[in-house]
Structure 1
Amino acid sequence: MKKALFLISFVIIGYHCNAQEQRSPGRVGEEKSKDSVAEPTIDLFKIISIENDTTHVDTSLTIQKDYKFNYLRKDLFGLLPFANTGQTYNKLTEFRDFSTIMPKFGARARHYNFMEAEDINYYYVPTPLTELYFKTVPEQGQQLDAFFTVNTSERLNFSIAYKGVRALGRYRHILTSTGNFRTTLNYQTKNRKYRAKAHFVSQDLLNEENGGLTDEALASYISKEPEFDDRSVLDVNFENAESTLYGKGFFLDHQYYLSGAQDTIQNKFYLSHRLDYSYKKFQYLQSAAATAILGEAFQSTNLNDETRYRNMDNTVAVNFDNPVLGKISAKAGYSFFDYWYDSVFIGENGVVGDRLDGRLINVGGSYDNYLAGFNLHADVSFNFGDDFSGNHILASAGYSLDDNNFLNFGIKQTSRAPNLNFLLYQSDYINYNWQNNFDNENAQSLFFELSAKMIANFSGEITQIQNYTYFSLNNDGAVKPFQFVGDVRYYKLKAQREFTFGKFALDNTILYQNISDGKDVLNLPELVTRNTFYYKDFWFDKALYLQTGLSLRYFSSYQMDAYDPVLAEFYVQNETEYGNYPVVDFFFNGKVDQARIFFKLENLNFLIDGNNNFSAPRYPHNDFMVRFGLVWNFFL
């Protein structure tokens, strides 16, 4: 972490010094020339997604910026954080991703802060741009996200960034130490016939594991005994374990235009190629076996579980784009993955292998067009292989009713193998060894989004899943993978609307969801809400723009999933309900020039009434905290 931060600081300082030198008072003629040129507007600082959707840098202060001022840098609605920054999140709504047809690596609870290819952006900037994010953490430590990008010419952009967190936490043995390094390239030739985007990422996400509170500590926490307000005196199940998710990835996406160019309206015919390579390793270390909690182990000391995975997707496509016929793409590719351990396990119930591998041919296509007022989109993908075949079909249409109302609706269907840790797992703990031959998970969804400015923003989804896979306890109380023989059906409806009354505003988000089939294997709260009432105004002759108010979060009681530290996965429990409590935050945010400053009293009501709530069974909800931080952009 220190080396990466030093490298980024060196690059940023170098460009700052260079800018100062070029504007030195001794170069009077050059200074006048520069002053005569208008500064670039902020809409010229472009952010480009993996699918070439383009936005621009936004230095405004809005209530949505407050929601995204956190470790993940995204809105956490629907997620319930654990007590320490950098730990995992329990789900308040279903986030299972059925948009890909390759089975995923396990340890999903550790992946919230793991940056995949679709999480990386690319840039075009007329002048060098720096963004610094800082926020305090519970107890000792800090979190920082430093980013720098520059166009060395109009056609070539580089960026480099590092996000690092180290937080001790208030409970015993929950230290987190994480790092996400990424660097990108965005290039086009002078005639715009060839374009390329590439990135490299290197990540390590470490969490100390404690197994949650002991039975005695649990009783003291629930009863709010004053002597345990110092959370470090609460006993935990073990203090000798840690888990780490490592990852490296390289991505290249480039196109060559045989006719036309990307920014023209004329007919375009071009070839594209995408290469996505990633390597992951999940490691669980424990100096002495916790047999009373996790079951018998093959060895009593120095437990070391390592699961490795590598994957490469290599796809070529032929694309035709016509103003009338629309954009048509046909693609074909080859994918492989390896998921492995160092040895074969032979147990009482048979042999557990040491490897899963897939060699897959994939074909597909997509279509986009604007026809009779509708924005049409379709995408199909098929994998062909011995054991890991799958498919994904998506069709959607969008229609603008008028300038203030937009409707998008569609259908999607996916069939793919379950995540790989459902199929094969090895551990030094005896109960955590298995190999299964599960069927493909099949999911069908109907969805819609309605943006009605005068009413609210609505989104909804009806989903049906066959062969739903999940972790739960077997008859012996051990965590095991299962596949549900029936159908899981659920629907959810979300509404968001902000009401403004002069200098005051009320922002409301409400999520209602219902599980009609499969309630024993999928647990979700029926109601999740967030309501924010705040004041906004300019102060000090408009030198400061501020927002201050209260935010209330709530979810109804439900049988919350439990957390397993060996797997870094959540598993279904149907014994105890949690929830049905409000959480209130007070915030005071301000914007001065390009800096947004955030001050927050988190979980304010716990300061008054105490806290005995949970983020997962045995894992307490975070307490009252004073948090401070900022996001600062520098335009050189």
Structure 2
Amino acid sequence: MQKLTFVLFFVLSTIAVFGQTNPEEKPPLLVSDSTDLKAKDSTAIVAKNKSNKESLLGKLTSGGDTDKKAKIQNYLIISHKRDTTYLDTTLTIQKEYKFNYLRKDNFGLMPFSNLGQTYNSLTYNFQNTNILPRFGARARHFNYMEIEDIYYYRVPTPLTELFYKTAFEQGQLADSFFTVNTSPQFNFSIAYKGMRSLGQYQHILTSTGNFRVTTNYTTKNKRYQMRGHIVMQDLLNEENGGLRSDMIDNFEQGVPEFLDRAIMEVNFENAESILKGKRFHLDHGFNIFNKVVKKTLPKTLSDSTSTYKLALNHIVSFEDKSFQFDQSSQNALFGDAFRSSNLRDRVTLERLYNQLELNYFNNELGDFAVNINNTYYNYGYNKLVVLTDNTITNRLKGNIYAAGAKYRKFYKGFNIQGEAGLNLVGDFTGNYITGEASYNLTDDIFAKVSINHSSKAPNFNALLYQSNYQDFNWQNSFNNIETQQLAFQIKYKHLVNLSVDYSTISDYVYFKQDQTATASQSIQAFQNNATISYLRAKLENEIRVGKFALNNTVLYQNVQDDNSVLNVPEITTRNTFYFSSELFRKAMFLQTGITLNYFTKYYMNGYNPVLAEFYVQNEREFGEFPRLDFFINAKIRQTRIFLKAEHFNSAFTGYDYYSAPNYPYRDFTIRFGLVWNFFM
């Protein structure tokens, strides 16, 4: 109760200070962060070599301007859906939220003690457009870059970005990126994110690497377009099973002897897991025709122009992925094993995807696309497993043939979008349909409503799993997971952003301890026999008075679930009180403040390292511990510097902070880093 009072006092007192607001500037078009891009950040980059770069700049800048200065708005970033933003070198509170291992806002995720481990999910989004099972080992996929995480670029001059942040005890996190347009038609980028961190507890080292190369090309007549990427990733984690049960009291009581976390004993120090993956992806298309037709109307009406476009697109993507768990000797925490030493569980997935799409655009009727696609999958292990009552196969492989359609239309201010997909032939049935309509009520008010229905098979590791541990072997024939979601969003400038979604989930698949097993972490896959109702309401707002601001994100969740297999905190909040100002004759922009993270108690999921999955537990509730961070950030030209005292309240608000049962959250630490953009 004292902690809840402390949190309420912090939130209410800061809100009381900021009872009035000033009108905000309208954010510019295409800014990736929902923040203002002020004139001081619209950096102009001077081309040093006039003869070589002047013509290139002129072709890449809007309107064919041959000015020797390349505007920041010309450094384009393109998503896999072809949504385009431009480089943002501002220092905002959103940049503070994104300055982390994932390099994106991690609200709703509870990090583990060491950098690069995993995250416990405090919220879930059941909107789905995937009709095939996923690989599994989902706890290892937070930093695994999927197709939608890869971006493409178009720049008037070479661009480099360097990211650096300190890790825990020994090691560091670095992300280096470079892109260049060798001509207005061809762009190339290369990047590598590497991290190594020892951690504060025994045997918890992490070492990860994400290498990616992208390219995109357009012919001069714009009839052929191509973009593709190569991504190679390896995510290594030493596993210790969390604190031993007899160490829990020493941690929670703050026994001085054990404030050195390296002294605390863990369940084991002889295991590690690694997720590896490589992907080759190509998305290209050819415009069969692109015509503009002028229609002459009576003199009382203006002439109109119609645009017709027909394109043939092709996507081919090959991915090879593996997850491996190694342990030098069997541990009783997971039950009996087929062998007592040198345990190795390794599972692989090969996936080849081909899609052929016909796209027709008419500015009067809209944008239509239909596609057919084929997925070849090969998931499994090298040998059969024979149990006392049955034999478990070693492979799930086959071909899935599917069809899909997309539609988009701007009509009287409405942006209407729809998409559907259906598996036609193959061992897995599945379908989805999603629709969305958005509208700008005024220049300051935006509203959107969306619906989604999905039916898909559970992940591969819920259908088939093999392990040296006897209780971790199964082959299941689960029903498809059925989800429906209705979502609504309304946004007014930066003052209020309210999003609400309501989902129903039938035949939900989850992991939980097998009640017939004697080991405490003999985890198996189960399917829920009831329908779950899940409501989320998220409110974001920022209140500014002069150079001070209060940024709030509050999430309310309500789950109706008779079997208690989907557990989330009722309230999750993040509140940042900060000060921003220009200093030294505007040579530096400073931002400093305090962030509070907090969520109410709930039955937090446990973590199982053999599966690299989170599992449901209903024995003990965790939560109601505030996490306070103090930060000082500065921007000098295109360099942003970050300094943070993380969880500085850990010593005086109680040692009951956990990322998962038996896995304490990190103690107070000071970390720093920077993001440096420079241009040639």
Instruction: Name the TM tier (shorter chain).
Output: over 0.9
1:432 and 1:29, CA in 2 relative to 1: closer, same or farther beyond 3 A?
closer
Task: Give the corresponding residue for 2:367.
Answer: 327
Offset of residue 217 of structure 1: 1.3
Give the Å deviation of 1:488: 1.1
Contact 1:415/1:443 (8 A) holds in 2:
yes
Residue of structure 1 equivalent to 2:75: 45
1:34-88 per-residue CA deviation (whole Å, 9 max, x = no partner) reads 9995220001000000011000010000000000000000001000000000000
Is 2:260 aligned against 1:235? no
Deviation at 1:522, TM superposition (A): 0.4
* Per-residue deviation, 1:519: 5.2
Question: Equivalences for 1:506-521 in 2 at 5 Å?
Answer: 506-518=550-562, 520-521=564-565
- 1:281 equivalent in alignment to 2:318: no
Pairwise CA distance, 1:99? 2.1
Q: Is the 8 A contact 1:193 1:261 kept in 2?
A: no
The one-letter code matched in structure 1 to 2:540 is Q
| Contact 2:400–2:427 under 8 Å retained in 1 | no
Query: Is the 8 Å Cα contact of residues 299 and 428 (structure 1) preserved in structure 2?
Result: yes
Q: Which residue does the alignment assign to 1:207?
A: 237
Task: Work out the CA distance in 1 between the residues paired with 2:565 and 2:429.
Answer: 25
Aligned to 1:616: 660
Q: Secondary structure at the match of 2:650?
A: helix
What residue identity is the alignment partner of 1:300? S
Give the counterpart letter for 2:413 in structure 1.
G
Deviations 1:541-578 (A, max 9, x none): 00000100000010000000000000000000001000
Q: Secondary structure of 2:627's match? A: strand
Q: Is the 8 A contact 1:67 1:74 kept in 2?
A: yes
What SS does the aligned partner of 2:96 have? helix
| Match for residue 78 of structure 1 among 108, 112, 117 | 108
Distance 1:31 1:391 in 2: 50
- 2:605 maps to 561
Q: What residue is the counterpart of 2:388 in the other structure?
A: 348
What is the aligned partner in structure 1 of residue 284 from structure 2?
A: 254
Structure 1 residues 96 and 623, CA gap change in structure 2 (3 angstroms) = farther
SS in 2 for 1:66: helix
1:381 counterpart = 2:425: no
SS at match of 2:656: coil
Q: What per-residue deviation string (whole Å, max 9, x for no partner) do you get for residues 107-147 of structure 1?
A: 00000000011110000001000000000011100000000
Shift of 1:610: 5.1
SS in structure 1 at match of 2:130? coil
Partner of 1:6: none
Structure 2 CA distance for aligned equivalents of residues 32 and 274 of structure 1: 35
Q: Which amino acid aligns with 1:98?
A: N
In the TM superposition, what are the counterparts of 1:473-484 in structure 2 within 5 Å? 473-475=513-515, 476=517, 477=520, 478-484=522-528
1:195 aligned to 2:225? yes
CA–CA distance in 2 between the matches of 1:178 and 1:142? 11
SS in 2 for 1:43: helix
C-alpha distance after superposition, 1:302-323 (max 9, x if no partner): 1010000011221111111111
Counterpart of 2:457 (choices 391, 407, 417) is 417
- Equivalent position SS for 2:455: strand
Shift of 1:216: 1.4
* 1:250–1:30 Cα change, 3 Å: closer
Native 8 Å contact 1:192 1:261 kept in 2 = no
Match of 1:12 in 2: none
TM-fit CA distance, 1:349: 2.8
Tell me the amino acid that sits aligned with residue 250 of structure 1. F
CA distance in 2, matches of 1:423, 1:311: 17
What 5-or-longer segments of structure 2 have no aligned partner? 1-46, 58-65, 293-304
CA distance in 2, matches of 1:356, 1:619: 34
1:372 and 2:416 correspond:
no
CA distance in 2, matches of 1:418, 1:482: 10
Which residue of structure 2 lines up, in the alignment, with residue 268 of structure 1? 309
Instruction: Name the CA shift for 1:34/1:50 in 2 (closer, same or farther; >3 Å).
Output: closer
Partners of 1:192 and 1:463 in 2: CA distance: 42
Task: Find 2:173's aligned residue among 121, 143, 157.
Answer: 143
If the length of structure 1 is used for normalisation, what is the TM-score?
Answer: 0.93
Q: Alpha carbons of 1:66 and 1:265: their partners in 2 closer, same or farther (altered >3 Å)?
A: farther
Shift of 1:448: 1.2
- On the 8 A contact 2:385/2:466 being kept in 1, the answer is yes
Residue deviations 1:274-326 (CA, integer Å, cap 9, x gap): 11211100000011111x21111111111010000011221111111111111
**How much does 1:30 deviate?**
9.0
Residue 267 of structure 1, CA deviation:
1.7
Inter-partner Cα distance in structure 2 for 1:23 and 1:528: 50
Give the distance between the partners of 1:33 and 1:415, measured in 2 at CA: 52
1:459 corresponds in structure 2 to 499
The alpha carbon displacement at 1:215 in A equals: 1.3
Decide whether the 8 Å contact of 2:248 with 2:662 is kept in 1. Answer: yes
Tell me if structure 2 keeps the 8 A contact 1:203–1:248: yes
Match of 1:390 in 2: 430
- Cα separation, partners in 2 of 1:23 and 1:635, compared to 1, 3 Å: closer
1:176-200 deviation line (CA, Å, top 9, x unaligned): 0000000001100010100001000
**DSSP 3-state at the match of 1:221:** helix
SS state of the match for residue 604, structure 1? coil
Deviation readout 1:230-253 (Å, 9 max, x if unpaired): 000000000000000000001111
Asked if 1 retains the 8 angstrom alpha-carbon contact of 2:126 and 2:483, the reply is no
C-alpha spacing 1:386/1:254, structure 2 compared with 1 (3 Å): closer
User: More displaced, 252-261 or 49-58?
Assistant: 252-261
TM value normalised by structure 2: 0.87
> Is the 8 Å Cα contact of residues 204 and 238 (structure 2) preserved in structure 1?
yes
Partner amino acid, structure 2, of 1:412: N
Q: Is 1:450 matched with 2:475? A: no
Aligned AA (2:539): A
In the alignment, residue 343 of structure 1 is paired with which amino acid? K
Q: CA 1:594 to 1:298, structure 2 compared with 1: closer, same or farther past 3 Å?
A: same
Distance in 1, matches of 2:260 and 2:68, equals: 57
- Paired letter, 1:504: F
The one-letter amino acid paired with 1:515 is V
Cα offsets for 1:464-487 (capped at 9, x unmatched): 111100000121242110000110
Whether contact under 8 Å (2:56, 2:183) holds in the other structure is no
CA distance in 1 between counterparts of 2:214 and 2:291 reads: 23
Contact 2:494 2:542 in 1 (8 A): no
- Flag structure 1 segments of 5+ consecutive residues without an equivalent: 1-21
Q: How far apart are 1:489 and its partner, in Å?
A: 1.0
Whether the 8 Å contact between 1:358 and 1:388 is mirrored in structure 2 is: no
Q: CA-to-partner distance for each residue in 1:133-186, whole Å, 9 max, x for gaps? A: 000011100000000001111100000000000000000000000000000011
| 2:202 match | 172
CA displacement at 1:399 relative to structure 2? 1.3
Q: Structure 1 residue 410: deviation in Å?
A: 1.4
Query: Hey, what's the Cα distance between the residues in 2 that align with 1:91 and 1:140?
Result: 27
- Seq. identity, %: 48
Aligned CA distance change for structure 1 residues 194 and 31 (closer, same or farther; 3 Å): closer
Alignment of 1:484-633 (within 5 A): 484-518=528-562, 520-609=564-653, 611-633=655-677
Residue correspondence of structure 1 range 351-362 to structure 2 within 5 A: 351-362=391-402
How far apart, in 2, do the equivalents of 1:265 and 1:152 lie? 34
| Selected match of 1:408 from 425, 429, 448 | 448
User: Residues 29 and 387 from structure 1, CA distance in 2 versus in 1: closer, same or farther, beyond 3 angstroms?
Assistant: closer
Q: Distance in 2 between matches of 1:200 and 1:333?
A: 21
Whether 1:91 aligns to 2:121 is yes
1: CA distance, partners of 2:566 / 2:255: 34
Give the Cα separation in 2 of the matches to 1:559 and 1:394: 32
Shift of 1:102: 1.0
8 Å contact from structure 1 (residues 535, 547) kept in 2: yes
Q: Tell me, what secondary structure is at the counterpart of 1:114?
A: coil
CA distance in 2 between partners of 1:71 and 1:453 (Å): 29
